[in-house]
Amino acid sequence: MSTIEDVAKLAGLSRTTVSRVLNDHPYVSDEKKKLVQQAMEQLGFVPNSAARSLRNQKTGIIAVLIPKISTSFFSQLLDVLEMKASDKGYQLIICQTQYSKQKEKNYLNLLKTRQVDGVIMTSFENEWSVIDSYLQYGPIVLCNEYVEDAHIPMVYINQAKTGYMIAKHLLERGHTQMAYCSNGIVSEGMAARIHGFKSALSEVGLYLHEKLYFEKASTYEDGKNVFAQILKMQVKPTAIFTGSDLVAAGIISEARTADWRLPGDLAVVGYDNMEIAKLLEPMVTTVVLPVEEMATKAMDVMYEKIHNKHYRSLEKHEFLSKLALRESTIYRRNLVATS
Amino acid sequence: MSTIEDVAKLAGLSRTTVSRVLNDHPYVSDEKKKLVQQAMEQLGFVPNSAARSLRNQKTGIIAVLIPKISTSFFSQLLDVLEMKASDKGYQLIICQTQYSKQKEKNYLNLLKTRQVDGVIMTSFENEWSVIDSYLQYGPIVLCNEYVEDAHIPMVYINQAKTGYMIAKHLLERGHTQMAYCSNGIVSEGMAARIHGFKSALSEVGLYLHEKLYFEKASTYEDGKNVFAQILKMQVKPTAIFTGSDLVAAGIISEARTADWRLPGDLAVVGYDNMEIAKLLEPMVTTVVLPVEEMATKAMDVMYEKIHNKHYRSLEKHEFLSKLALRESTIYRRNLVATS
DNA sequence: ATGAAAGCGCTAACAA
DNA sequence: TTGTTAGCGCTTTCAT
């Protein structure tokens, strides 16, 4: 492994000059530059990054905290984050928190030990005050979360508008009796989503019936359960927001078994635009999340924070979901553009 | 940011002693040890990892090269790899090659610049000779690939046995006319798989009809196409291996539209055990890959290579796929255990 | 059991 | 335009 010193010797110059060539500094004559480059070539020289990190006090690495990589949404997010980081010349260290407070803290320590220049959190487990204390060591950017009392850049989806949009769509399709599935997670986003949903209803004098609110559904099995419950009801909903494409799949599966027509007897709206949404029959109208936009913004903001060094700046970067209209809410013959 | 020097001063000791405490060296009296620990506590001292890396010539980081993170299989693999790395005290840098030779080389450079202690490749694009040249800088372990002329540890699936198992299962179900979908990727593994498939057939005097071999099917749409072709055939297959659950989904969707009974008119075997395999109707019999086992082994081997420093050792770590038996090849009433 | 000092490879302030 | 030198923070001989 050759060092800058070796290159300097071979080129008959000083380490400084070599370093200057390496960093594209001005004030190096073309002649010497050539000499240095030849020497580098000949030795197969590559700068040692630990030495650079130590000297420059920055690593070129960003940590991404994620609860579970193999979750469809998070793997998409990570995918884009990696591309954007790569574009900016950064490496990404992946940190799976597995929804554990301790793991989350362990990974935040990467900031303390200066192993990374910044941390992007796509979820969080600890109290905000705990996380806040790490800000003295470097920038933290929230991507896909919103916290009222955090004074840092936050990139997130306006869930109130998401909820509103869903309800509005169903209202336009003529539904008046709707059901709503939550996923059991209690967060500001989830609260905002249902609030938005309800406000669209109340605008037209409707409301969400208590029995039609399912508190905790996140899996295919949960979806089947939800339908079983619906089947037993006196007054049945004509439309349901499922909170997840998996739940939608469960509901659809049972509904078909029970010979319900979809969307005739029940219109279904999913969430996440997972692969299955397009594969089911009927194809599922679902909420499409602005994954790419959020990841891009998060990385841009992180880059800026790393360089301007003012970590505690409150920035709200809000993005909107879209609705992919498909057969589960609109009869095929009325569907102009499916996507 | 406090350094080891600060701690030493506060404790009234030397840097050496502090370092010894930090690294659990013997020959430190309990008394001084306590002193040092108190000082560390008081200053909130955390060792700087760049300095450690520089001094120790190792980073505690492993790079994982992956073509595309958001692919179901790779995200699962990455998930397990991260857990295993974490167990061993390593961080993972993720490198998305996007099937690009150049990107792959760029990321292999992390080894040259000593930014990582080793590289795990889950796929590769360049000629083996290119990759081989990086071995002088550190260990490379193949996880999910097999290359005949690579002299490094390889963790992979025995695809010949996978193919054999699939055909065997269909033979046992009484099929004699089978179709086979490849995904268009040309690799030793893919060749082995079809070879294994064919040899099970030839054992009982059967063979794979040329027209029933689909060269390139990897998406849901491809699956629909495949079925359309089958529909036009004179002699139709009674069973098909799809090479992917997505393709299986496409085939099933079209088959149902054409009012085929599944598995009565056509038995379908998928690959990958994706989420959809259990959600479709019928639930899809599919090949389950030993993701966890491969990831675990790859990380174990990497750990060992990093420490014993002999990188060019040919090691074949072979794993087997399993078949998850479901309704698409076995009538529900005959299904004892679905999974 | 403890400390002094050298040095990992690089960059930058300063001098020439 | 180029070189000398100090030092980033840590570990490890070697001496005591």
Please report the pLDDT score of residue A332 as a whole number: 61
Rounded CA-CA distance B277/A194 in Å is 31
Judging contacts by C-beta atoms under 8 Å, the chain A residues touching residue B96 are: 79, 82-83, 86
Q: Provide the 10 A C-beta neighbour count for residue A9.
A: 16
Residue found under tokens 């090949």: B287
Phi/psi zone of residue A204: left (φ > 0), alpha (ψ -120 to 50 degrees), beta?
alpha
| pLDDT values of chain A reduced to their tens digit, one per residue, 339 residues | 899 999 999 999 999 999 999 999 988 899 999 999 999 999 999 999 999 999 999 999 999 999 999 999 999 999 999 999 999 999 999 999 999 999 999 999 999 999 999 999 999 999 999 999 999 999 999 999 999 889 999 999 999 999 999 999 999 999 999 999 999 988 889 999 999 999 999 999 999 999 999 999 999 999 999 999 999 999 899 999 999 999 999 999 999 999 999 999 999 999 999 999 999 989 999 999 999 999 999 999 999 999 988 999 999 999 999 999 999 999 765 555 444
Q: What is the dihedral of CA B13, B18, B19, B25, to 10 degrees?
A: 100
A96, two tokens: 């799976």
**CA B190, B196, B202: angle at the middle one, nearest 5?**
135
Among B78, B115, B280, the residue with its CB nearest the CB of A49 is B115
* Cα–Cα distances in angstroms (integers) from residue B131 to residues A339, B62, B68, B293, in the given order: 41, 16, 19, 25
A280-297 burial, b at 16+ Cβ within 10 Å, e below that, comes to bebbbbbbebbbbebbbb
Q: Provide the 10 A C-beta neighbour count for residue A13.
A: 18
Residue in B91, B116, B136, B251 to test binding to A, most A beta-carbons within 10 Å: B91
**Residue A113 to residue B46, Cβ atoms within 8 A:** yes
Among A51, A79, A256, the residue with its CB nearest the CB of B70 is A79
DSSP, collapsed to helix, strand or coil, labels residue B309 as coil
Report which of B72, B215, B66, B90 is spatially closest to residue B144, judged by C-alpha positions. Answer: B66
Contacts of A108 (CB under 8 A, 6+ apart): A65, A119, A131, A134, A140
- Cα torsion angle, B307, A107, A96, A90, sign: negative
B60, two tokens: 């505690």
Q: How far is the CA of B165 from the C1' of C2 (A)?
A: 66
Domains A59-158+291-321 and A159-289+323-334 share a fold: yes
Q: How far is the CA of B52 from the C1' of C8 (A)?
A: 9
Q: How far is the CA of B54 from the C1' of D13 (A)?
A: 17
Report which of A312, A184, A334 is spatially closest to residue A267, judged by C-alpha positions. Answer: A334
Judging contacts by C-beta atoms under 8 Å, the chain A residues touching residue B275 are: 246, 274, 276
Rounded CA-CA distance B38/A131 in Å is 24
Smallest CA–CA separation between B228 and chain A, in Å?
A: 17
- Report the topology of domain B4-55: 434 Repressor (Amino-terminal Domain) (1.10.260)
DSSP, collapsed to helix, strand or coil, labels residue A91 as strand
| pLDDT values of chain B reduced to their tens digit, one per residue, 339 residues | 899 999 999 999 999 999 999 999 988 899 999 999 999 999 999 999 999 999 999 999 999 999 999 999 999 999 999 999 999 999 999 999 999 999 999 999 999 999 999 999 999 999 999 999 999 999 999 999 999 889 999 999 999 999 999 999 999 999 999 999 999 988 889 999 999 999 999 999 999 999 999 999 999 999 999 999 999 999 899 999 999 999 999 999 999 999 999 999 999 999 999 999 999 989 999 999 999 999 999 999 999 999 988 999 999 999 999 999 999 999 765 555 444
* Cα–Cα distances in angstroms (integers) from residue B273 to residues B278, B321, B326, in the given order: 8, 11, 11
Please report the pLDDT score of residue A27 as a whole number: 86
B312, two tokens: 């060019």
Cβ(B163)–Cβ(B194) below 8 Å: yes
A197, two tokens: 């949903």
Alpha helices, DSSP H only, in chain A? 4-11, 15-22, 30-43, 49-56, 72-87, 101-112, 128-132, 159-172, 188-203, 220-232, 245-257, 275-279, 291-308
**Residue A280 to residue B278, Cβ atoms within 8 A:** no
Cβ(B286)–Cβ(B267) below 8 Å: no
Rounded CA-CA distance B21/B29 in Å is 10
Residue found under tokens 């469809």: A72
Please report the pLDDT score of residue B336 as a whole number: 54
- Report the topology of domain B159-289+323-334: Rossmann fold (3.40.50)
Output the pTM of the full model: 0.93
Rounded CA-CA distance B122/B65 in Å is 6
Q: Please, which residues bridge with residue B121 across strands?
A: B65, B142
- For residue B271, give the amino acid letter: Y
DSSP labels, B120-166? EESS--S-HHHHHGGGGTS-EEEES---TT--SEEEEE-HHHHHHHH
A15-36 burial, b at 16+ Cβ within 10 Å, e below that, comes to eebbbbbbeeeeebeeebeebb
Backbone angles phi, psi at A172, to 5 degrees: -60, -30
Query: Could you give the maximum distance between any two Cα atoms of chain A, in Å?
Result: 91
Please report the pLDDT score of residue A293 as a whole number: 98
- Note the CATH number of domain A59-158+291-321: 3.40.50.2300
- Cα torsion angle, A235, A240, A241, A242, sign: positive
Rounded CA-CA distance A255/A262 in Å is 8
Please report the pLDDT score of residue A331 as a whole number: 76
Chain-centre distance for alpha carbon B165: 20
Contacts of A288 (CB under 8 A, 6+ apart): A273, A321, A322, A323, A324
DSSP B190: H
Q: Which residue of B has its CA nearest to A251?
A: B279
Rounded CA-CA distance A178/A50 in Å is 58
Rounded CA-CA distance A11/A127 in Å is 56
Please report the pLDDT score of residue A187 as a whole number: 87
Strand order in A267-271's β-sheet? Answer: A213-214, A178-181, A239-241, A267-271, A285-288, A322-324
Report which of A131, A77, A69 is spatially closest to residue A298, judged by C-alpha positions. Answer: A77
pLDDT tens digits for range A128-183: 999 999 999 999 999 999 998 899 999 999 999 999 999 999 999 999 999 999 99
Q: Please, which residues bridge with residue A213 across strands?
A: A180
Query: Closest residue by Cα to the C1' atom of nucleotide D13?
Result: B16
Asked if residue B21 keeps its beta carbon closer than 7 A to nucleic acid strand C, the reply is no
- Positions on chain C within 7 A of a protein C-beta: 1-13
Among A91, A109, A276, the residue with its CB nearest the CB of B279 is A276
DSSP labels, A312-337? ---EEEEE--EEE--TTTS-GGG-S-
Q: Which residue of A has its CA nearest to B53?
A: A50
Among B50, B275, B279, the residue with its CB nearest the CB of A50 is B50
Contacts of B291 (CB under 8 A, 6+ apart): B73, B76, B77, B80
Please report the pLDDT score of residue A338 as a whole number: 44
B37, two tokens: 């620990």
B285, two tokens: 């019999």
Please report the pLDDT score of residue B331 as a whole number: 76
Domain boundaries, chain B: 4-55, 59-158+291-321, 159-289+323-334
Nucleotide nearest to A50 (CA to C1'): C9
Q: How buried is residue B157: exposed, middle or buried, by Cβ count under 10 Å (0-12/13-18/19+)?
A: buried
